[in-house]
Structure 1
Amino acid sequence: MKKKVIVIGSGIAGIAASIRMAVAGYEVEVFEANSYPGGKLSEIRLGAYRFDAGPSLFTLPEQVEELFAIAGQDASDHFKYKKLAITCQYFWENGQRVSAFGDIEKFSEEMYTKIGEPVANIRKALQSAAYIYEHLSPLFMHRSLHKWNTWMNPHALRTYFKMGKLGIFDTMNAANERLFEKEKTVQLFNRYATYNGSDPYQTPATLNIIPHLEFNIGAFFPEKGMHDITQSLYKLSIGIGVKYSFGQKITEILVKEKKAYGVAINKKEHHADIIINNMDMVNAYKTILKNQYQPTKLLNQPKSSSALIFYWGIKKHFPELELHNILFSDAYQKEFEHIFNQKTIYKDPTVYINITSVNKQDDAPEGGMNWFTMINVPNNQGQHWDVLIQEARQNIIHKINRVLNTDIEPLIEVEEVLDPRTIELKTSSAQGSLYGNSSNNKYAAFLRHANFSSNIKNLYFCGGSVHPGGGIPLCLLSAKIMSEMVLKD
């Protein structure tokens, strides 16, 4: 008789975990409180417009392909994507614009032509990012930080002698100010801190690993949109026997004699040999694990930033815009001080606009565009969000009008808003934070929950709130690390 696994939550890590456990021969059932799979990686439809609801950047596609491969299928038969020729368009208030070409030589020349940054500096920065990735990814991305064998293997021992070159003792901003001559180049590379909800003026320079993924390896776009990552893996999991129960909110993880043996939905019990929690770690301990030992230090860690998103159907085509677009603040450090210190929104926020209709034309009517318009904001600590949202909306519109020389508001045909409160409500993310605990100190990597419980046997964790972190690739890797632990245990 097959052993049974229950997965709590069908975020992308939960789906990946279900695939890995089913392939390993377990009977798998996923319980999801929402009526749909994917968590943040879902979609929104407003009239004739379709939007990817959450994560918009796709890197390391091999992490998706591997799930098809272990299930004995060819990913290209089910999931197609293409590499981006331009990873992002950058705009500043003074009229300067930069196309971040996927080709490093073209990008280096673009930065020199438009910004005046020496080509050698861009090359050096991306070589440094590759160096960090080469030495740290085997430790921090592919293994548990909570097992002694991670720290005692030969690769780890060699890495200890290179710590000074890996950015652990610097902030991202300090490292970038040494690397680059131009303030705008520093700002562009500081932006990568936001990829895990951090502040470049506080977070360690090890996060300069991120440009390696986007430039040296590449950024990609699924042909059917980001939501197809969820849909294709969901279909794969069903095809190999995973069962899903939607609209089922777990009320408790059942534990006896320090061993998890099932879950409860109200008073109905569902028993299993292995329990995998894909729910946000903080909210899980506050709710479904409230009667168990609480890892107070981890639970009380500062949380990452959140987001304020306006899904706008725009009845006009802007040829100067690409899939990813950034309209930079003129006072970048002040923006982060407002987010992380003052817990509010700066009057001149950096605006990110994701437009999938650039690559997937049926996401908007002919002559229109689907704008996923986002700014980074603090997590929810009881701010007067209704007031902040209205102020931010006007500031965003004024900025777009200035930078693109337009009048955008009359062009907004449909609108929906997602803020930290609704992010928490829809995804159970503590305080609406997008990436769990903050990475704004050098020990942040060690202040994430392990992929297993050290107090409750047969209880495991995956997802963006635990090791190795948030974002699609890391969530998928969390499921891999976790499933390898289950099989070893």
Structure 2
Amino acid sequence: MPQQKAVIIGAGIAGIATAIRLAVKGYAVNVYEANGYPGGKLSEFEQSGYRFDAGPSLFTMPQYVDELFALAGKNPANYFTYQKLDVVCKYFYEDGTRLSAYADTKQFAEEIETQTGEPATAVIKHLANSRDIYSITNHVFLERSLHRLKTYLRWDTIRSIFRFPQIDPFRTMHKANASGFKDKRVVQFFDRYATYNGSNPYQAPATLNVIPHLEHHFGAYFPDGGMYSITKSLVKLAEELGVKFYYNYKVDEIVVINGKAKGIRAKGENVLADVVVSNMDIWFTYNRLLSKHPQLHPKKTLNQERSSSALIFYWGIKKQFPLLDLHNIFFSADYKAEFKHIWQQQDIYHDPTVYLNISSKLKPDDAPDGCENWFVMINVPANNGQDWERLITDARTNIIAKLSRLLGEDLPPLIVNESILDPRSIESRTSSYKGSIYGTSSNNQFAAFLRHANQSSKVEGLYFCGGSVHPGGGIPLCLLSAKIVSGVIN
């Protein structure tokens, strides 16, 4: 029997992981990537002696990366190493409060009590609830397709269904947190986790309170070569398994004949395959690659609310700040107003919450001696035609003023170089519709069920992976989407 062929559209992290899994299953796998590099959002660049991880900067659930090497019979440590963080993130509030989010649960709860007066027992209780939500949802919502009958016939799924009220789907995340904590700073701290999948804590279901468990149980990590080493190590593994990557190779069409995916069309030629997997955003998959087949388009899914996007400033800073850590958050004084601007007004609040990542804290050669590489990000709305030049200019001014005030330092003279990534460039570089980072938002209590499936119900041999489909965005979920796809392909 001839070897079966698989074509993967897009070399994002999910596309690479799918390629590895299918190669292990015996497929001949070709990956076609429009950019000249792999990784999608998980890429890197350099400017004037400073190296930056361009996209995701928080690394959790490393077991899903290690699993790919083990699956291929390789020792993960020979390809990819990482270190666990003792402090996940440092937090700065406008009232002067500072928190260190220790990885150790007991130490973290005591830190909360010391800095805010919120009882440590309340924090422990909240994290226990987070653990329970994870135990109910993990094997059902994250590791399996929600669109196959046999998922619901499993005993662990049935048990999870009986425990459904425990995942708290009918309250918003904010209401749940406000009922569990008295201190507004602690409520704001736990509300922030909604932004991990581009959602609004004042709308998203309290089920998202599962996210703290990922940090405070499994921990947060830093890859020894920076975040892009995840991409590089997995590409190396894939190539060793025989996967072929074609860069600067834009796919124009998924070829569908008589209800079956037969391959792709790119650069004027047809590439035949038994299986086609799209790692492209689901909106562009249908509207670009399946434009000849409008009857296949899931219009309700494609019209769902998009997740938030990001505005990122990459700054080379000619000074070091001992006060700062790898991950740092500078909170807005009015969180509700900030989210109202993002979601209702579709613009940027004058006092945004600022995330600051400095990989040179743990990888010193990412910046010149005595300097730091600052990845400065705020959450912003998806691109709906706003005046981004004005928004970027105003946001830059407000961010610099905020950081200068809270750090007691005049920042402008310290910024020696700058690059900017906004929703428009996120869309153009990564084919993320409207620049939304996580596909559709999770501002609906049924969002987990409304995400696009990993397998087409209308086209035989067509599959989907990545952050715009089930189970969602972010590195761990993208890797799980690859696992699900591999599981449903024979």
Is 1:318 the counterpart of 2:356? The answer is: no
The whole-number CA distance in structure 1 between the counterparts of 2:158 and 2:146 is: 14
Aligned equivalents of 2:163 and 2:429: distance in 1?
42
| Counterparts of 2:235 and 2:318, CA distance in 1 | 33
Distance in 1, Cα, partners of 2:394 & 2:93 = 21
Q: Which residue of 1 aligns with 2:356?
A: 353
5 Å-filtered alignment, 1:397-412, equals 397-412=400-415
Match of 2:391 in 1: 388
Deviations for 1:321-345, whole angstroms, at most 9, x for unmatched residues? Answer: 0010000000001100100111100
Distance in 2 (CA, whole Å) between partners of 1:21 and 1:438 is: 29
| 1-structure distance, mates of 2:228, 2:160 | 37
**Corresponding position: 1:264 with 2:265:** yes
Of the candidates 364, 368, 375, which is equivalent to residue 365 of structure 1? 368
CA distance, structure 1, for counterparts of residue 139 and residue 79 of structure 2: 29
Q: Which of 414, 420, 427 is the aligned partner of 1:417?
A: 420
1:55-134 correspondence runs (5 A): 55-134=56-135
Contact 1:31–1:245 (8 Å) recurs in 2: yes
Give 1:309's aligned residue: 312
The amino acid of 2:101's aligned partner reads A
What amino acid maps onto 1:148 in structure 2? L
CA contact (8 A) 1:14 1:479 kept: yes
Secondary structure, aligned partner of 1:244: strand
- Partners of 2:369 and 2:130 in 1: CA distance: 40
Following the alignment from structure 1 to structure 2, what is the Cα–Cα distance between the partners of residues 340 and 137? 28
Aligned to 2:331: 328
Question: Aligned residue for 2:246?
Answer: 245
Question: Percent identity, aligned pairs only?
Answer: 54
The offset of 1:94, in angstroms, is 1.4
Q: Is the 8 A contact 2:249 2:267 kept in 1?
A: no
Letter in 1 for 2:28: E
Query: Counterparts of 2:225 and 2:127 in 1: how far apart (Å)?
Result: 30
Please state whether the residue corresponding to 2:134 is helix, strand or coil: helix
For the 8 Å contact 1:93–1:402, the answer to whether it is kept is: no
- What TM-score do the two structures reach when normalised by structure 2? 0.99
1:338 pairs with one of 330, 341, 354: 341
Q: Deviations over 1:92-123 (max 9, x none)?
A: 11111000011111111110111111000010
Equivalent residue letter for 2:485: M
Does the aligned pair in 2 maintain the 1:308–1:376 contact within 8 Å? yes
Letter in structure 1 aligned against 2:122: N
Partner of 1:7: 8
The one of 437, 440, 443 aligned to 1:437: 440
**Residues 130-178 of structure 1: CA deviation (Å, up to 9, x unaligned):** 0000011111100001011112211121122222221111110011011
Tell me the distance in 2 between the aligned counterparts of 1:100 and 1:74.
32
8 Å contact 1:21–1:483 — kept in the other structure?
yes
**CA deviation map 1:241-289 (0-9, x unaligned):** 0001100100000000000001001421110110010000011111011
1:275 aligns with 276
| Cα deviation 1:287-312 (Å, max 9, x = unaligned) | 01112211000000000000000000
2:383 is paired with a residue whose SS is: coil
2:472 to 443, 446, 469: 469
Secondary structure of 2:345's counterpart equals coil
Instruction: State the alpha-carbon separation in 1 of the partners of residues 361 and 488 from structure 2.
Output: 41
CA distance, structure 2, for counterparts of residue 37 and residue 439 of structure 1: 27
Bigger Cα displacement from structure 2, 190-199 vs 401-410:
401-410
Shift >3 Å, 4+ stretches: none
Give the aligned partner of residue 158 of structure 1. Answer: 159
1:427 maps to 430
Asked if the contact 2:304–2:440 (Cα under 8 Å) also holds between the matched residues in 1, the reply is: yes
Q: What residue is the counterpart of 1:203 in the other structure?
A: 204
Of 442, 447, 451, the residue aligned with 1:448 is 451
The amino acid across from 1:69 in the alignment is A
Structure 2 residue 14 is the aligned partner of structure 1 residue 21: no
Partner of 2:53: 52
- Contact 1:83–1:218 (8 Å) recurs in 2: yes
- CA-to-aligned-CA distance 1:397-454 (integer Å, 9 cap, x gap): 0100111111111100110000000000000000000000110010111111100100
Q: Return the alpha-carbon distance in structure 2 between the equivalents of residues 295 and 323 of structure 1.
A: 41
Q: Distance in 1 between matches of 2:344 and 2:305?
A: 11
Aligned match of 2:228:
227
Contact 1:379 1:432 in 2 (8 A): yes
Name the SS of the counterpart of 1:469 in structure 2.
coil
Partner of 2:486: 483
Structure 1 counterpart of 2:457, one-letter code:
S
CA RMSD of aligned residues (A): 0.7
What code does the residue aligned with 1:304 have? S
CA distances 1:186-229 after superposition (whole Å, capped 9, x unpaired): 00000000000000000001110000000011011101000000
Contact 1:253 1:264 in 2 (8 A): yes
Residues 9-52 of structure 1 show CA distances to partners (whole Å, capped at 9, x for unaligned) of 00000000000000100100000000000000000211110011
SS of residue in 2 equivalent to 1:117: coil
AA aligned to 2:426 is: I
Number of aligned positions between the proteins: 487
Give the Cα–Cα distance (whole angstroms) in 2 for the partners of residues 237 and 388 of structure 1. Answer: 41
The separation in 1 between residues aligned to 2:154 and 2:242, in whole angstroms, is 37
CA distance in 2, matches of 1:183, 1:434: 28
Question: C-alpha displacement at 1:475, in angstroms?
Answer: 0.1
Structure 1: any 5+ residue segments left out of the alignment? none
- Between 147-156 and 12-21, report the one with greater CA deviation: 147-156
- Distance, in Å, in 2 between the alignment partners of 1:152 and 1:435 is 29
Q: CA deviation at 1:181?
A: 1.4
> Using the alignment, how far apart are the partners of 2:74 and 2:455 within structure 1?
29
What code does the residue aligned with 2:421 have? L
Aligned-residue offset at 1:3: 0.7
